[in-house]
Amino acid sequence: MDGSTSFLPQLGLMQPARWVTSKELHLFLFMVNETVPVCDIHYSSAIHSNRVMDVTNWHGLYLLEDMLSKGLQPSVVTFANVAGAHRQALLDELEGILSSMADNGVIPNKVFIETFLGALFPARLTAAWTVDDVRIRLKGTSRHRLRVAKSVLKDAESRGVRLAQLSSLTEQYLQQLNI
């Protein structure tokens, strides 16, 4: 690619974003446009690339939808990257990720759960080492977000997912709440 932004309308973008100039995205778009066979790993990598560059969550959803439209099966890594790109998302968008994950038969793992909690409670669980730390950091969080977290954690445990320490502390705190 010549570095131009002529592919922006194809991505639904009206103006250049930082991630659009990344080498990874240029390579990805070249592969898609030149009909090089792409797989879920390529999409997951592109979603991860925009996740770490702190661009809007919409780009990750676009790539996920494009992946699904090509008949590719997303993995738990794909959904973890989409969730990670949603640190500033509305609750409806986060619930949409869960719904899409279920629709595609993808079972969460502990990395996805940690990433999803990070998107659900952006920067709130940093340095939480005890249940009391979690309680303090989640004070003032909407009941709806707390219910979603409780449901996600309960579902993961029912599927046999071993929770990481932070997820386990969060689950212990949420069990104390009547929500």
Q: Is pTM beyond 0.95 here?
A: no
CA distance 66 to 68: 5
* Residues 105-162 pLDDT 10s: 999 999 999 999 999 999 889 889 999 999 999 999 999 999 999 999 999 999 999 9
